[in-house]
Amino acid sequence: MIQKHWVTMWGNAMSITNHTPQGYSRNITLRYPVTVPFAGEALRLTFDHFCGTEPVTISRAVIARCADDSRKTILTETLHTLSFAGSPSVTIPAGGRVTCDPVSFPVEQGQTLSVSFYLGEFTQMRSSVIITGPLSGGQYAVGDHCCTDRFPVDDCRNTSCCYFLSDVEVLTASENHAVVCYGDSITAQDWPDYLQQLFLAQPDNHTAIVRKAASGTRILRQYSCITYESYGLKATVRFPHELPVSGADTIIIQQGINDIIHPVGTDVNIFRPMSDLPTLEELKDGYRYYLKETRKMGMFTLTGTLLPIEGWRTYADFREVLKNGFNDWLRSGDGADGCIDFDLALRDPDRPASFAPGFDSGDHLHPSAAAYRQMAQTAYDALNAFGRC
């Protein structure tokens, strides 16, 4: 008899939506594609309102297969309505999360599923994360279109903001597992998707890439003002909620650059005092917290070096020195099982403070699409070298 277990095959962090007067919605359907990394026989979905301050109700939620030629068209004959303790709707308390009842839904490697859910009543749209990449993206439409094969073109828009949907688990063979990519905007962007594509290219893949990343997040600090609260939660708030991930035995942690570049002084920005700038030892302690927690979970932990930042609007020599000192410590492997040297893979060998030609997105902080592909290849090679595939 083949042993089965639950593995998260797709996932996101849950962060704080930018606070605007338009922070509520009603009578809308959200739809998100989910790529299947390996075969399984049943599914469970988690909806998360971690950052909410009042309850929200999901009126209806469904899952279906996408048409082979479109990530935006579902095959209605495959549609299953999700239930929550037997009910088709569920109310999630502020700060809470819910998981649907398991649904029998056989899946195969490489298929694309679609999760649609309808918010009928006024809903606080506060818990979300922005994600990008070739396997990411979503749509929303006015009205209940959960069971519609394709959203009506006049009443829908694309979105890179993923609300509430945090995890999709699959009941699958015991050799299948998940690798968590944890970090900030650099990891919320494309490289985890490219990494998943590299694994999907293998005819008998056993690895799911689960992204737990939120833009603007720092290790040691978080903002209490509504101007910057969407920059996310600090490590000791995020990490216990986002981890563990079912079926995950490996994690890649790439974070810390925002701790270095955010502080500018209250004479420039009252919300960004220079006292927020960490020392090198404080940054190390922040990672030691991560390492202590991942050891408790028995996870194989890889750290990722921070990327070039020369030319970024707050760039300064003292930030470069701090970043390089931190990268040197990460390369030493102190407390981790290994280090993935993203910095070395992306920097200009003749000017190591900068991205190599073609690898800068243009803001001198985030990589280009080519650089994200290089990050994915670097991570893929490291995971293979460490036997984590």
The domain boundary residue, chosen from 152, 169, 186: 169
127 closest CA partner among 12, 45, 295, 31:
12
The domain boundary residue, chosen from 117, 145, 169: 169
Average model confidence (pLDDT) for the chain? 97
pTM, full prediction: 0.97
Q: Which residues of 168-182 are buried (b: 16+ CB within 10 A; e: fewer)?
A: bbbbbbeebbbbbbb
Based on the domain organization, do 335 and 358 belong to the same domain? yes
**Given this model, what pLDDT does residue 324 score?**
98
17 closest CA partner among 226, 287, 171, 317:
226
**Given this model, what pLDDT does residue 1 score?**
59
Based on the domain organization, do 137 and 188 belong to the same domain? no
* pLDDT-based confidence at residue 238 (cuts at 50, 70, 90): very high
User: Each residue of 41-98: pLDDT tens digit?
Assistant: 999 999 999 999 999 999 999 999 999 778 999 999 999 999 999 999 999 999 999 9
* pLDDT-based confidence at residue 280 (cuts at 50, 70, 90): very high
Q: Quote the radius of gyration of the chain (alpha carbons, Å).
A: 21
User: What CATH number does the domain containing 304 carry?
Assistant: 3.40.50.1110
Average pLDDT over residues 296-324: 98
Structural contact between residues 127 and 48, judged by C-beta atoms closer than 8 angstroms: yes
CA atoms of 243 and 294, how far apart (whole Å): 9
339 closest CA partner among 328, 350, 347, 325:
328
Based on the domain organization, do 51 and 189 belong to the same domain? no
Strands (E), 52-164: 56-58, 60-65, 80-81, 90-92, 97-99, 103-107, 112-119, 123-124, 127-130, 138-142, 156-159, 161-163
Domain hosting residue 313, numbered range: 176-385
User: Each residue of 215-226: pLDDT tens digit?
Assistant: 999 999 999 999
User: Each residue of 314-366: pLDDT tens digit?
Assistant: 999 999 999 999 999 999 999 899 999 999 999 999 999 999 999 999 999 99
Q: Extract the tokens encoding 97.
A: 């999360």
In sign, the C-alpha dihedral spanning 25, 58, 48, 167 is negative
